[in-house]
Structure 1
Amino acid sequence: MPKLKIAVIISSTRDTRFGPIPAEWMVNLASRRDDLDVELVDLKSFDLPFFNERMSNLGAPSEDPRAVAWQKKIGEFDGYIVVTAEYNRSLTAAMKNAFDQAYVEWNRKPIGFLGYGAVGASHAIDHARTIAIELHMVPVRSAIHIGGSEYVKVVHQRQPIAEIEPAIMRSATELLDQIAWWGRVTRAGRDAA
Protein backbone atom coordinates (compact mmCIF):
# COMPACT_ATOMS: atom_id res chain seq x y z
CA MET A 1 0.00 0.00 0.00
CA PRO A 2 1.42 3.44 -0.87
CA LYS A 3 2.31 5.79 1.94
CA LEU A 4 -0.22 8.35 3.10
CA LYS A 5 0.76 11.91 2.26
CA ILE A 6 0.32 14.02 5.41
CA ALA A 7 0.73 17.80 5.75
CA VAL A 8 2.00 19.32 8.97
CA ILE A 9 0.60 22.85 8.77
CA ILE A 10 2.11 25.79 10.65
CA SER A 11 -0.97 27.89 11.33
CA SER A 12 0.56 31.03 12.83
CA THR A 13 1.92 33.67 10.46
CA ARG A 14 3.27 36.09 13.08
CA ASP A 15 6.91 37.13 12.79
CA THR A 16 7.57 36.06 16.40
CA ARG A 17 5.70 32.75 16.19
CA PHE A 18 6.79 29.59 17.97
CA GLY A 19 4.96 27.24 15.56
CA PRO A 20 7.89 26.19 13.34
CA ILE A 21 9.69 24.57 16.30
CA PRO A 22 6.99 22.03 17.25
CA ALA A 23 6.05 21.63 13.57
CA GLU A 24 9.58 20.56 12.65
CA TRP A 25 9.63 18.22 15.65
CA MET A 26 6.34 16.68 14.45
CA VAL A 27 7.68 16.27 10.89
CA ASN A 28 10.81 14.54 12.18
CA LEU A 29 8.79 12.23 14.42
CA ALA A 30 6.24 11.33 11.75
CA SER A 31 8.96 10.81 9.12
CA ARG A 32 10.31 7.86 11.13
CA ARG A 33 7.19 5.88 10.24
CA ASP A 34 7.11 3.70 7.15
CA ASP A 35 3.42 4.42 6.41
CA LEU A 36 3.56 8.23 6.21
CA ASP A 37 5.12 10.67 3.77
CA VAL A 38 5.15 13.98 5.65
CA GLU A 39 5.52 17.53 4.32
CA LEU A 40 5.78 20.79 6.22
CA VAL A 41 3.28 23.38 4.92
CA ASP A 42 3.74 26.93 6.20
CA LEU A 43 0.69 29.18 5.87
CA LYS A 44 2.99 32.20 5.90
CA SER A 45 4.39 31.25 2.49
CA PHE A 46 0.95 31.29 0.79
CA ASP A 47 -0.04 34.95 1.32
CA LEU A 48 -3.72 34.06 1.40
CA PRO A 49 -6.11 37.02 1.19
CA PHE A 50 -9.10 37.15 3.51
CA PHE A 51 -11.85 34.98 2.07
CA ASN A 52 -13.70 37.08 -0.50
CA GLU A 53 -15.06 34.59 -3.03
CA ARG A 54 -18.71 34.44 -4.13
CA MET A 55 -19.04 31.20 -2.16
CA SER A 56 -16.90 28.22 -1.17
CA ASN A 57 -15.35 26.23 -3.98
CA LEU A 58 -18.00 23.57 -3.40
CA GLY A 59 -20.50 25.88 -5.10
CA ALA A 60 -18.29 27.85 -7.52
CA PRO A 61 -14.63 27.82 -8.53
CA SER A 62 -12.47 30.30 -6.64
CA GLU A 63 -11.23 33.27 -8.63
CA ASP A 64 -8.25 34.51 -6.63
CA PRO A 65 -5.13 32.68 -7.86
CA ARG A 66 -3.72 32.59 -4.32
CA ALA A 67 -6.81 30.70 -3.11
CA VAL A 68 -6.55 28.33 -6.07
CA ALA A 69 -2.86 27.68 -5.31
CA TRP A 70 -3.79 26.90 -1.68
CA GLN A 71 -6.56 24.54 -2.79
CA LYS A 72 -4.19 22.74 -5.13
CA LYS A 73 -1.61 22.31 -2.36
CA ILE A 74 -4.12 21.11 0.24
CA GLY A 75 -5.66 18.73 -2.28
CA GLU A 76 -2.36 16.82 -2.54
CA PHE A 77 -2.69 15.33 0.94
CA ASP A 78 -4.45 12.36 2.54
CA GLY A 79 -4.54 13.99 5.97
CA TYR A 80 -3.35 16.89 8.08
CA ILE A 81 -1.75 17.78 11.39
CA VAL A 82 -2.28 21.43 12.28
CA VAL A 83 0.18 23.08 14.65
CA THR A 84 -1.71 25.86 16.39
CA ALA A 85 -1.34 28.50 19.03
CA GLU A 86 -4.35 29.70 20.95
CA TYR A 87 -5.39 33.32 20.47
CA ASN A 88 -8.27 34.50 22.66
CA ARG A 89 -9.56 30.94 23.15
CA SER A 90 -9.57 30.09 19.46
CA LEU A 91 -7.34 29.07 16.59
CA THR A 92 -5.34 31.58 14.60
CA ALA A 93 -7.22 33.81 12.17
CA ALA A 94 -4.81 32.67 9.46
CA MET A 95 -5.87 29.03 9.95
CA LYS A 96 -9.58 29.85 10.02
CA ASN A 97 -9.09 31.72 6.74
CA ALA A 98 -7.12 28.78 5.30
CA PHE A 99 -10.00 26.44 6.18
CA ASP A 100 -12.44 28.84 4.49
CA GLN A 101 -10.33 29.19 1.31
CA ALA A 102 -10.86 25.52 0.42
CA TYR A 103 -13.73 23.15 0.92
CA VAL A 104 -13.64 20.26 -1.49
CA GLU A 105 -9.95 19.60 -0.85
CA TRP A 106 -10.42 19.07 2.90
CA ASN A 107 -13.34 16.61 2.53
CA ARG A 108 -13.18 13.02 3.76
CA LYS A 109 -9.70 13.21 5.26
CA PRO A 110 -8.40 12.95 8.83
CA ILE A 111 -7.05 15.90 10.76
CA GLY A 112 -5.16 16.08 14.03
CA PHE A 113 -3.74 18.89 16.13
CA LEU A 114 -0.63 19.88 18.03
CA GLY A 115 -1.39 22.90 20.20
CA TYR A 116 0.69 25.12 22.42
CA GLY A 117 -0.11 27.81 24.95
CA ALA A 118 -1.05 28.17 28.60
CA VAL A 119 -3.68 25.42 28.34
CA GLY A 120 -2.09 23.57 25.43
CA ALA A 121 -4.39 25.31 22.93
CA SER A 122 -7.26 23.13 24.10
CA HIS A 123 -9.89 25.77 23.22
CA ALA A 124 -8.32 26.40 19.82
CA ILE A 125 -8.27 22.68 19.05
CA ASP A 126 -11.90 22.23 20.10
CA HIS A 127 -12.89 25.11 17.83
CA ALA A 128 -10.81 23.71 14.95
CA ARG A 129 -12.42 20.28 15.35
CA THR A 130 -15.86 21.85 14.95
CA ILE A 131 -14.72 23.58 11.75
CA ALA A 132 -13.22 20.33 10.49
CA ILE A 133 -16.51 18.50 10.99
CA GLU A 134 -18.28 21.15 8.91
CA LEU A 135 -15.67 20.55 6.18
CA HIS A 136 -16.54 16.81 6.18
CA MET A 137 -13.24 15.88 7.79
CA VAL A 138 -12.47 13.28 10.45
CA PRO A 139 -10.92 14.94 13.50
CA VAL A 140 -8.97 12.30 15.39
CA ARG A 141 -9.43 11.92 19.13
CA SER A 142 -5.86 12.36 20.33
CA ALA A 143 -4.02 15.66 20.22
CA ILE A 144 -0.71 16.97 21.50
CA HIS A 145 -1.07 19.75 24.06
CA ILE A 146 2.05 21.69 25.02
CA GLY A 147 0.83 23.65 28.01
CA GLY A 148 1.72 24.61 31.54
CA SER A 149 5.28 23.89 32.63
CA GLU A 150 6.17 22.25 29.30
CA TYR A 151 5.11 25.41 27.48
CA VAL A 152 7.25 27.52 29.82
CA LYS A 153 10.27 25.24 29.23
CA VAL A 154 10.17 25.34 25.43
CA VAL A 155 8.81 28.86 24.82
CA HIS A 156 10.06 31.04 27.64
CA GLN A 157 13.16 29.10 28.69
CA ARG A 158 13.99 28.13 25.08
CA GLN A 159 14.71 24.50 25.90
CA PRO A 160 14.49 22.02 23.00
CA ILE A 161 11.29 20.03 22.45
CA ALA A 162 13.30 16.91 23.34
CA GLU A 163 13.22 18.13 26.97
CA ILE A 164 9.44 17.68 27.13
CA GLU A 165 9.12 14.52 25.04
CA PRO A 166 8.28 12.36 28.09
CA ALA A 167 5.17 14.52 28.62
CA ILE A 168 3.98 14.55 24.98
CA MET A 169 5.32 11.41 23.26
CA ARG A 170 2.39 9.14 24.15
CA SER A 171 -0.08 11.66 22.71
CA ALA A 172 2.09 12.11 19.65
CA THR A 173 2.23 8.37 19.00
CA GLU A 174 -1.53 8.02 19.45
CA LEU A 175 -2.16 10.99 17.15
CA LEU A 176 0.03 9.53 14.40
CA ASP A 177 -1.53 6.06 14.77
CA GLN A 178 -5.03 7.58 14.46
CA ILE A 179 -4.08 9.76 11.47
CA ALA A 180 -2.62 6.68 9.75
CA TRP A 181 -5.66 4.47 10.47
CA TRP A 182 -8.22 7.06 9.41
CA GLY A 183 -6.03 8.07 6.49
CA ARG A 184 -6.13 4.52 5.10
CA VAL A 185 -9.88 4.22 5.70
CA THR A 186 -10.79 7.56 4.15
CA ARG A 187 -8.44 7.09 1.18
CA ALA A 188 -10.06 3.72 0.46
CA GLY A 189 -13.48 5.39 0.68
CA ARG A 190 -12.46 8.23 -1.65
CA ASP A 191 -10.99 5.72 -4.11
CA ALA A 192 -14.15 3.61 -4.06
CA ALA A 193 -16.34 6.66 -4.69
Structure 2
Amino acid sequence: MTKIAIVTGSTRPGRNNSGVAEWVLAQAQQRSDAEFELVDIADFNLPLLDEAYPAAYQNYTNDHTKAWSEKIAEFDGFVFVTAEYNHSVAPALANALSYLNAEFANKAAGIVGYGSAMGVRAVEHLRGILSELQVAHVQKTGMFSLFTDFENFSTFAPTELSAVTLAPVLDQLVPWTKALEAVRAEALVAA
Protein backbone atom coordinates (compact mmCIF):
# COMPACT_ATOMS: atom_id res chain seq x y z
CA MET A 1 0.00 0.00 0.00
CA THR A 2 1.22 3.49 -0.83
CA LYS A 3 2.39 5.32 2.31
CA ILE A 4 2.08 9.09 2.65
CA ALA A 5 3.41 11.11 5.58
CA ILE A 6 1.65 14.21 6.89
CA VAL A 7 4.72 16.19 7.99
CA THR A 8 4.44 18.97 10.53
CA GLY A 9 6.28 22.17 9.74
CA SER A 10 6.89 23.73 13.14
CA THR A 11 8.42 22.83 16.48
CA ARG A 12 7.47 26.03 18.31
CA PRO A 13 5.83 25.59 21.76
CA GLY A 14 2.12 26.31 21.49
CA ARG A 15 2.23 25.88 17.72
CA ASN A 16 -0.92 25.89 15.59
CA ASN A 17 0.77 23.47 13.21
CA SER A 18 -0.12 20.33 15.17
CA GLY A 19 -3.84 21.08 15.01
CA VAL A 20 -3.71 21.62 11.26
CA ALA A 21 -1.62 18.48 10.68
CA GLU A 22 -3.92 16.34 12.85
CA TRP A 23 -6.96 17.63 10.93
CA VAL A 24 -5.25 16.87 7.60
CA LEU A 25 -4.47 13.35 8.86
CA ALA A 26 -8.08 12.77 9.97
CA GLN A 27 -9.37 13.87 6.56
CA ALA A 28 -6.80 11.79 4.68
CA GLN A 29 -7.52 8.65 6.70
CA GLN A 30 -11.08 8.66 5.35
CA ARG A 31 -9.59 7.62 1.99
CA SER A 32 -8.81 4.02 1.03
CA ASP A 33 -6.28 4.68 -1.75
CA ALA A 34 -3.22 5.14 0.51
CA GLU A 35 -2.03 4.83 4.11
CA PHE A 36 -1.42 8.11 5.93
CA GLU A 37 0.71 8.73 9.02
CA LEU A 38 1.56 11.86 10.99
CA VAL A 39 5.30 12.60 11.19
CA ASP A 40 6.05 15.35 13.69
CA ILE A 41 9.46 16.93 13.09
CA ALA A 42 9.51 17.94 16.77
CA ASP A 43 9.87 14.24 17.68
CA PHE A 44 13.30 14.12 16.03
CA ASN A 45 14.92 16.99 17.99
CA LEU A 46 16.85 18.21 14.95
CA PRO A 47 19.22 21.03 15.94
CA LEU A 48 20.30 23.60 13.39
CA LEU A 49 21.84 21.46 10.64
CA ASP A 50 24.86 19.83 12.25
CA GLU A 51 26.06 17.21 9.76
CA ALA A 52 29.61 17.64 8.44
CA TYR A 53 28.85 16.28 4.97
CA PRO A 54 26.22 17.42 2.45
CA ALA A 55 23.01 15.37 2.65
CA ALA A 56 23.56 13.97 -0.85
CA TYR A 57 26.43 11.83 0.51
CA GLN A 58 24.16 10.15 3.10
CA ASN A 59 27.21 10.01 5.37
CA TYR A 60 25.21 10.75 8.52
CA THR A 61 27.08 10.86 11.81
CA ASN A 62 24.36 11.92 14.27
CA ASP A 63 21.71 9.62 15.70
CA HIS A 64 18.97 12.24 15.19
CA THR A 65 19.81 12.41 11.48
CA LYS A 66 19.84 8.63 11.15
CA ALA A 67 16.43 8.37 12.83
CA TRP A 68 15.01 11.16 10.63
CA SER A 69 16.43 9.49 7.51
CA GLU A 70 14.99 6.10 8.44
CA LYS A 71 11.53 7.56 9.07
CA ILE A 72 11.36 9.60 5.85
CA ALA A 73 12.64 6.67 3.76
CA GLU A 74 9.52 4.70 4.79
CA PHE A 75 7.21 6.92 2.73
CA ASP A 76 6.25 7.17 -0.93
CA GLY A 77 4.84 10.68 -0.64
CA PHE A 78 4.23 13.59 1.67
CA VAL A 79 1.86 16.35 2.68
CA PHE A 80 3.87 19.18 4.20
CA VAL A 81 1.98 21.45 6.59
CA THR A 82 3.66 24.84 6.80
CA ALA A 83 2.96 28.10 8.51
CA GLU A 84 4.22 31.28 6.97
CA TYR A 85 7.07 32.89 8.89
CA ASN A 86 8.41 36.23 7.66
CA HIS A 87 6.96 35.67 4.17
CA SER A 88 8.65 32.26 3.90
CA VAL A 89 8.55 28.64 4.99
CA ALA A 90 8.76 27.87 8.70
CA PRO A 91 12.44 27.65 9.72
CA ALA A 92 12.08 24.28 11.48
CA LEU A 93 10.71 22.71 8.31
CA ALA A 94 13.44 24.19 6.10
CA ASN A 95 16.02 22.86 8.55
CA ALA A 96 14.47 19.37 8.65
CA LEU A 97 14.37 19.20 4.86
CA SER A 98 18.03 20.27 4.65
CA TYR A 99 19.16 17.21 6.60
CA LEU A 100 18.19 14.76 3.83
CA ASN A 101 18.29 14.35 0.09
CA ALA A 102 17.95 10.84 -1.38
CA GLU A 103 15.17 9.99 1.07
CA PHE A 104 12.95 12.58 -0.65
CA ALA A 105 14.04 12.11 -4.27
CA ASN A 106 11.51 10.90 -6.83
CA LYS A 107 8.60 11.12 -4.45
CA ALA A 108 5.51 13.32 -4.60
CA ALA A 109 4.23 15.97 -2.21
CA GLY A 110 1.24 18.11 -1.52
CA ILE A 111 1.37 21.26 0.56
CA VAL A 112 -1.01 22.74 3.13
CA GLY A 113 -0.23 26.31 4.11
CA TYR A 114 -1.68 28.71 6.62
CA GLY A 115 -1.02 32.21 7.86
CA SER A 116 -2.29 35.76 7.68
CA ALA A 117 -2.18 35.51 3.87
CA MET A 118 -3.12 31.80 3.84
CA GLY A 119 0.54 30.80 3.75
CA VAL A 120 0.91 31.47 0.02
CA ARG A 121 4.45 32.83 0.20
CA ALA A 122 5.57 29.93 2.40
CA VAL A 123 4.03 27.50 -0.07
CA GLU A 124 5.86 29.10 -2.99
CA HIS A 125 9.20 29.02 -1.15
CA LEU A 126 8.61 25.42 -0.12
CA ARG A 127 8.00 24.49 -3.76
CA GLY A 128 11.52 25.72 -4.59
CA ILE A 129 13.08 23.65 -1.81
CA LEU A 130 11.12 20.55 -2.83
CA SER A 131 12.13 20.97 -6.46
CA GLU A 132 15.80 20.97 -5.47
CA LEU A 133 15.19 17.74 -3.51
CA GLN A 134 13.59 16.18 -6.63
CA VAL A 135 10.17 16.05 -5.01
CA ALA A 136 7.31 16.36 -7.49
CA HIS A 137 4.85 18.74 -5.84
CA VAL A 138 1.25 18.79 -7.00
CA GLN A 139 -0.43 21.98 -8.19
CA LYS A 140 -3.37 22.06 -5.78
CA THR A 141 -2.73 23.50 -2.32
CA GLY A 142 -4.62 23.43 0.97
CA MET A 143 -4.89 27.03 2.17
CA PHE A 144 -6.06 28.35 5.52
CA SER A 145 -6.29 31.80 7.06
CA LEU A 146 -5.33 32.71 10.62
CA PHE A 147 -8.27 35.14 10.57
CA THR A 148 -11.08 32.78 9.54
CA ASP A 149 -9.87 29.22 10.13
CA PHE A 150 -8.58 29.51 13.70
CA GLU A 151 -10.59 30.40 16.80
CA ASN A 152 -8.71 33.08 18.74
CA PHE A 153 -5.80 32.59 16.31
CA SER A 154 -4.93 29.32 18.05
CA THR A 155 -7.54 26.57 17.68
CA PHE A 156 -7.85 25.18 14.17
CA ALA A 157 -11.49 25.21 13.04
CA PRO A 158 -11.53 25.48 9.24
CA THR A 159 -14.44 27.08 7.45
CA GLU A 160 -16.24 24.99 4.85
CA LEU A 161 -14.81 27.20 2.14
CA SER A 162 -11.25 26.50 3.27
CA ALA A 163 -11.75 22.85 4.22
CA VAL A 164 -12.62 21.88 0.65
CA THR A 165 -9.13 22.92 -0.52
CA LEU A 166 -7.62 19.72 0.91
CA ALA A 167 -9.43 17.07 -1.16
CA PRO A 168 -8.00 18.26 -4.51
CA VAL A 169 -4.49 18.11 -3.02
CA LEU A 170 -4.96 14.49 -2.03
CA ASP A 171 -6.74 13.67 -5.30
CA GLN A 172 -3.63 14.81 -7.20
CA LEU A 173 -1.08 13.53 -4.70
CA VAL A 174 -2.12 9.88 -4.51
CA PRO A 175 -1.83 9.09 -8.25
CA TRP A 176 1.43 11.08 -8.54
CA THR A 177 2.82 9.15 -5.57
CA LYS A 178 1.90 5.83 -7.17
CA ALA A 179 3.35 6.87 -10.53
CA LEU A 180 6.67 7.83 -8.97
CA GLU A 181 7.06 4.36 -7.47
CA ALA A 182 7.96 3.22 -11.01
CA VAL A 183 10.48 6.07 -11.33
CA ARG A 184 12.19 5.02 -8.09
CA ALA A 185 12.25 1.37 -9.20
CA GLU A 186 13.86 2.42 -12.50
CA ALA A 187 16.47 4.46 -10.62
CA LEU A 188 17.39 1.42 -8.49
CA VAL A 189 17.87 -0.70 -11.59
CA ALA A 190 20.08 1.97 -13.14
CA ALA A 191 22.22 2.28 -9.99
TM over 0.5: yes
Residue among 172, 178, 181 paired with 1:178: 172
Q: Matched residues in 2 for 1:146 and 1:47: separation?
A: 27
Q: Matched residues in 2 for 1:118 and 1:139: separation?
A: 23
**Unaligned 5+ residue runs, structure 1?**
none
What is the Cα deviation at residue 157 of structure 1?
A: 7.3
Residue among 125, 128, 134 paired with 1:127: 125
Which amino acid in 2 is paired with 1:186?
A: L
What is the Cα deviation at residue 16 of structure 1?
A: 1.4
Map 1:16-165 → 2, pairs under 5 A: 16-147=14-145, 149-151=147-149, 153-156=150-153, 158=155, 160-161=157-158, 164=159
**TM-score normalised according to structure 2 size:** 0.92
User: Secondary structure at the residue paired with 1:116?
Assistant: strand
User: Secondary structure at the residue paired with 2:7?
Assistant: strand
Structure with a larger share of its residues in helix: 1
Q: Matched residues in 1 for 2:142 and 2:89: separation?
A: 15
Q: Matched residues in 2 for 1:148 and 1:17: separation?
A: 12
Identity rate, percent: 32
Q: Matched residues in 1 for 2:137 and 2:38: separation?
A: 19
**Would the aligned equivalents of 1:119 and 1:145 in 2 still touch at CA under 8 Å?**
no
**Would the aligned equivalents of 1:18 and 1:155 in 2 still touch at CA under 8 Å?**
no
Residue correspondences, number: 187
User: Secondary structure at the residue paired with 1:141?
Assistant: strand
Which residue number in structure 1 is paired with residue 183 of structure 2?
189
Q: Matched residues in 2 for 1:102 and 1:56: separation?
A: 9
Q: Matched residues in 1 for 2:132 and 2:168: separation?
A: 24
What is the Cα deviation at residue 70 of structure 1?
A: 0.4
> Residues 63-121 of structure 1, C-alpha deviation per residue, up to 9 Å, x if partnerless?
11111110110110001111111110111111111111010000001111111110111
Alignment RMSD (CA, Å): 1.6
Q: Matched residues in 2 for 1:111 and 1:190: separation?
A: 15
Q: Matched residues in 1 for 2:154 and 2:98: separation?
A: 35
**Unaligned 5+ residue runs, structure 2?**
none
Which amino acid in 2 is paired with 1:19?
A: N
Structure with a larger share of its residues in strand: 2
User: Secondary structure at the residue paired with 1:55?
Assistant: coil
> Residues 107-159 of structure 1, C-alpha deviation per residue, up to 9 Å, x if partnerless?
001111111110111111100100000001101101111026423x4453746
What is the Cα deviation at residue 15 of structure 1?
A: 0.6
**TM-score normalised according to structure 1 size:** 0.91
